[in-house]
């Protein structure tokens, strides 16, 4: 068995420390949202949608909402 010393100041600054077995850590990583990479037509369509949204924002056609209820 290996002893690990962690200074109390480091734990306090980091708001705590979590120690997990490797398998549990890998399970948690696998459960997060996957990375998605678009190619081809899907990527082009998304690029056009983002460009259109930025153009509308610069033209002042957008508004800030605090919640979806403000869409009325």
pLDDT per residue rounded down to tens, the chain (72 residues): 788 888 888 777 777 778 889 999 899 888 888 788 999 999 999 999 999 999 999 999 998 889 988 887
Residue 21: per-residue pLDDT: 92
Residue 49: per-residue pLDDT: 97
Angle at 30 between CA 27 and CA 32, to 5 degrees: 115
Helix (H) or strand (E) run with residue 43 in it: helix 40-58
pTM of the model: 0.46
Structure-token pair, residue 34: 């996957």
Domain ranges of the chain: 35-60
């Amino acid at each position: 068995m290996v002893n690990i010393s962690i200074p109390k100041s480091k734990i306090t600054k980091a708001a705590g420390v979590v120690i997990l077995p490797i398998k549990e850590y890998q399970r948690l990583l696998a459960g997060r949202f996957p990375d998605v990479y678009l190619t081809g037509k899907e990527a082009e369509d998304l690029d056009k949608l983002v460009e259109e949204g930025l153009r509308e924002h610069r033209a002042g056609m957008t508004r800030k909402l605090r919640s979806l209820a403000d869409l009325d």
